[in-house]
Amino acid sequence: MAHSMEGKVCLITGATSGIGAATAMELAMLGATTIIVGRNRRKCERISQRIKRKTENEAVEFLAADLSSQQEVRYLAAEFKNRHNHLAVLINNAGAIFAKRQQTADGIEMTFALNHLAYFLLTNLLLDCLKASPSARIVVVASVAHNKGTLRFDDLQGERHYDRLEAYRQSKLANVLFAYELARRLAGTRVSVNALDPGSVATNLGRNNSWLRTRMRNLLVRSMVNPQEGARTVVYLASCPEVEGKTGHYFKNQKEIPSSDGSHDTSVARGLWLVSEELTGVRFPN
């Protein structure tokens, strides 16, 4: 059942394709002021115009930023605040997997920077806007891959050993740990935080890798669900009244499910939080 999002400001990262684009379309259809974030300005322009045409909702905006760059994440947050003073829904969705180890402009391993630190930094920079809403929701798009993830604090950035799947799984575990730790820190506020597994979705994830891996991935796509189906749980957590006030949970197929045992280790979550503060320079407000 659709639930009106009239008057609510929603920001979705990684919204120029896949789950993010499908989520943006659905939220705009529900009447939300929808802000899409993507790295490519032209793609942002195209998808925002397409959403406006299909939904007849003129309250669709975009902000272009490369979220692997902390400077651009800060620019994104500042630009958002220039336009809006409150935020009802923040959907951290942007992510990628990298076949070879790469470093960002900040000198940080790309998978960890884009898939985790961007979520951490952007969320903390926008917390005041989230708290300014009558109620707000933070939705963290994780993955079943977190089940096999391990946080290697002695080699978080894969400097001694890099494996693309290990790096990706680690980043997805970091997503769930971050969501749970943030939920604990926001207890008693009107801001809820939940994570989800969208399922095996046919998206652009992995297309930045070699042609052979891409070809193998494309063969697997046939057994995957489409982005619209993958977006259902994201939209559910962003809009459904029955999850109002629920926080610190993990969902799949619009139902709460258990996450991995490792994702509930509070000491690991606190350690990740401290490392993330050091690497981004932000501090959770007291």
Q: Which amino acid is at 168?
A: Y
**Residue 119 among the catalytic residues:** no
State the Cα–Cα distance between residues 122 and 14, nearest whole angstrom: 13
Identified catalytic residue from 75, 119, 162, 168: 168
- Beta strands per DSSP E along 28-187: 33-38, 60-64, 89-92, 136-141
Whether the CB-CB separation of 260 and 176 falls below 8 Å is answered with yes
DSSP 127-159: HHHHHTSSSEEEEEE--GGGGG----TTSTT-S
Contact 175, 195 (CB under 8 A): yes
138 is written with which tokens? 């933070």
Q: State the Cα–Cα distance between residues 49 and 179, nearest whole angstrom.
A: 32
Taking alpha carbons only, the member of 19, 2, 278 closest to residue 157 is: 278
DSSP string, 256-279: E----GGGG-HHHHHHHHHHHHHH
Closest CA to 166 of 179, 152, 187: 152
**Strand stretches in the chain, DSSP E:** 9-13, 33-38, 60-64, 89-92, 136-141, 191-196, 249-252, 255-256
Residues classed as catalytic:
168
